[in-house]
């Protein structure tokens, strides 16, 4: 930026035209690449080998995390799970053992950075460097804004967003030293489109998407091209996390399907994965529709008896 300020007008114009040309050519290349990959049969897609890789899954005690652990284990990865619930950890490790796989579990409160750093060091000493980090753990309250207690809001942010800073700080430096590794961020469609009853959860997922994309840019700008980043944005998942939610536009996703798709995205080094894929068609509406029309449309779609989704529990209207 400072160099640009000292350029004369002609140099600025030339620099602008050059940047515009590069941007245009790269845009055409990536659009053609996306079209090619979209029509390429799955059996011809190149996939990396994850056997022998240390895979850490946060929130691995249940839901999608449990299926992720099983699916990576089936690929001969060395699976490690973090969870705050000791019984959930045992259930997952017993499940993998019953299938003939091994799994190491640690009780970790990922909202506590000291626990994260200490557990990360213990993991690296006992098992080795983490090759694939799957930031899967998250919580949701599912209440209108005015019914959200302060402590719930703080806890949602600490687990859904801030914890990603601690895990990335704990494991990314070794990935950068090797210029090799993979960080998976489990975001949400609610981080792309604000949703009723999710003012805490949706906002954390918006923040999470921004963190992930910015970290991706940092790594690429400094030449760490082999440290892969995958952002997964699934629709509502039938894990019990969204009890009381009855989606009407699309059915809830099953956790085994989501886990299978996440593993595939990792093997293909996909940068962005939206589940189901056709939800992407809704996203341009935010940009192309007039702002008032867009917000009015979305508010009508997600409320009332004919809404896209309906919560069984209804929030109280705040006094005044």
Q: Is 128 left (phi over 0), alpha (psi -120 to 50) or beta?
A: left
Strand partners, 228: 182
Q: Which residue has the tokens 């390429």?
A: 40
- 3-state DSSP assignment of residue 306: coil
Catalytic hit among 67, 106, 196, 201: 201
From the list 90, 46, 89, 93, the residue with the least C-alpha distance to 70 is 93
Active site residue 201: yes
* Geometric angle at alpha carbon 211, from 309 and 46, rounded to 5°: 85
β-strand pairing of 181-186 with 309-311? unpaired
Tokens of 97: 């053992």
Residues with Cβ within 8 Å of 145's Cβ and at least 6 positions away in sequence, in order, are: 199, 200
Tokens of 25: 């050519």
Strand spans (E) along 103-146: 103-107, 132-135
From the list 132, 150, 152, 127, the residue with the least C-alpha distance to 142 is 152
β-strand pairing of 227-234 with 103-107? unpaired
Residues with Cβ within 8 Å of 317's Cβ and at least 6 positions away in sequence, in order, are: 146
Strand partners, 133: 56, 183
From the list 218, 303, 231, the residue with the least C-alpha distance to 271 is 231
List the catalytic residues. 201
């Amino acid at each position: 930026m400072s160099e640009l300020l000292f350029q004369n007008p002609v140099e600025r114009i030339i620099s602008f035209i050059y940047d515009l040309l590069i941007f245009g050519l790269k845009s055409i290349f990536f659009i053609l690449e996306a079209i090619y990959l979209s029509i390429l049969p799955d059996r011809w897609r190149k996939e990396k080998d994850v056997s022998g890789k240390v895979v850490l899954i946060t929130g691995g005690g249940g839901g999608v995390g449990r299926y992720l652990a099983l699916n990576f284990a089936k690929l001969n990865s060395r699976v490690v799970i973090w969870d705050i619930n000791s019984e959930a950890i045992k259930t997952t490790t017993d499940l993998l053992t019953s299938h003939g796989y091994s799994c190491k579990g640690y009780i970790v409160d990922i909202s506590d950075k000291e626990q994260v750093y200490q557990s990360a060091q213990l993991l690296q000493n006992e098992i080795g460097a983490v090759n694939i980090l799957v930031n899967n753990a998250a919580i949701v309250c599912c209440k209108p804004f005015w019914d959200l207690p302060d402590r719930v809001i703080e806890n949602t942010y600490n687990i859904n967003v801030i914890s990603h800073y601690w895990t990335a700080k704990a494991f990314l430096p070794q990935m950068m030293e090797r210029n090799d590794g993979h960080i998976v961020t489990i975001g949400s469609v609610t981080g792309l489109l604000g949703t009723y009853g999710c003012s805490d959860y949706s906002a954390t997922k918006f923040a999470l998407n921004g963190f992930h994309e910015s970290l991706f840019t940092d790594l690429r700008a400094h030449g760490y091209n082999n440290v892969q980043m995958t952002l997964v944005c699934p629709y509502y998942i039938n894990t019990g996390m969204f009890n009381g939610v009855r989606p009407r536009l699309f059915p809830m996703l099953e956790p085994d399907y989501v886990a299978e798709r996440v593993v595939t995205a990792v093997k293909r080094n996909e940068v962005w994965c939206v589940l189901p894929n056709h939800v992407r068609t809704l996203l341009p509406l935010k940009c192309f529709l007039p702002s008032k029309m867009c917000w009015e449309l979305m508010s009508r779609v997600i409320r009332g008896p004919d809404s896209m989704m309906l919560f069984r529990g209804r929030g109280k209207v705040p006094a005044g």
